[in-house]
Amino acid sequence: MRDRSSGVRADRAIPRLSQNVAAGLGLVLLGVFGVWAAGDLPRGTLGAMGPGMLPHWVAIGVAICGVVLAATGFVRGGAGLQTVGLRGPVVVVLAILAFAATIRPTALGPITTPGLGLIVAGPLAVILAGYASPEARFRELLILALLLTAGCMLLFGDLLNLPIPLFPTALVEAASGKIPSRVLLRLMAGALALTGLGLLLLQRRSARRGGTDVARHSMTA
């Protein structure tokens, strides 16, 4: 009886790692990895940003948020860790790998993937990552992917002028000397945004029609 009671007391004395603390530590590790991975990229200055400026400071911001979240979890506590399914992490990792393999040519042994640029790799990664949730719907993910990719193209390619592959290599070679890169960038980003907005309007109209059909059916019934 004493052994059992002491065992119960010992289990109660051991604090469980809260979700906030675990998430904070994970963000800190992610931020440290981001700083290390972007260490070889030149950061430049605020007037002339290099390719490593944004990843470096974003990684630092993520690490700071992780420290704040972990400290809050230590002070206030919170719900303990729960069992998590493998679907979410596996699908997100696959989405990241797909993005890395398609945004620029990548050698995978004897096979080299074609460089498709952000215009293809961005929507592909968003749609794949969205299926980490069992409630994912393709049309909603497609709308989100198109709008996010258009915004990223304008932000990183047009405003920040970062050297990120935006278009497939074949398209860049075909348009070289014919269409200015900025004009091509804005045209393609606008096309993605208009397509996403058009799909969003169609989805809202179909939802409204479905609602009116249900209302008419209930009135006739």
Per-residue pLDDT of the chain (221 residues; tens, 9 = 90+): 444 444 444 444 334 677 788 888 888 998 898 888 777 778 777 777 777 788 888 989 999 999 998 898 888 876 666 666 778 889 999 998 899 888 888 877 788 888 899 999 999 999 999 999 889 999 999 999 999 999 999 988 888 888 888 998 888 888 777 888 888 899 999 999 999 999 999 998 888 877 655 555 555 55
| 69 and 97 co-located in one domain | no
End position of a domain, from candidates 62, 82, 102: 82
Neighbour-count burial for 116-137, b at 16+ CB within 10 Å, e otherwise: bbbbbbbbbbbbbbbbbeeeee
Question: CA-CA distance, 111 to 163, in Å (whole number)?
Answer: 25
80 strand-pairing partners: 18
- Using only C-alpha atoms, what is the Rg of the chain? 24
Question: CA-CA distance, 203 to 165, in Å (whole number)?
Answer: 31
| 107 and 203 co-located in one domain | yes
| 121 and 198 co-located in one domain | yes
**Tokens 């009116």 belong to which residue?**
212
Question: CA-CA distance, 209 to 211, in Å (whole number)?
Answer: 5
| 96 and 183 co-located in one domain | yes
In a domain, 9, yes or no: no
Query: In the chain, how many domains are there?
Result: 2
| 163 and 67 co-located in one domain | no
| 162 and 126 co-located in one domain | yes
In a domain, 7, yes or no: no
Domain span including residue 78:
14-82
Is residue 146 within 8 A of residue 191, CB to CB? The reply is no
Is residue 20 within 8 A of residue 73, CB to CB? The reply is yes
| 61 and 94 co-located in one domain | no
In a domain, 215, yes or no: yes
| 92 and 76 co-located in one domain | no
In a domain, 6, yes or no: no
Question: CA-CA distance, 123 to 103, in Å (whole number)?
Answer: 11
| 121 and 21 co-located in one domain | no
End position of a domain, from candidates 60, 82, 104: 82
Tokens of 87: 């679907």
Question: What is the value of pTM for the model shown?
Answer: 0.67
| 157 and 128 co-located in one domain | yes
In a domain, 145, yes or no: yes
| 59 and 76 co-located in one domain | yes
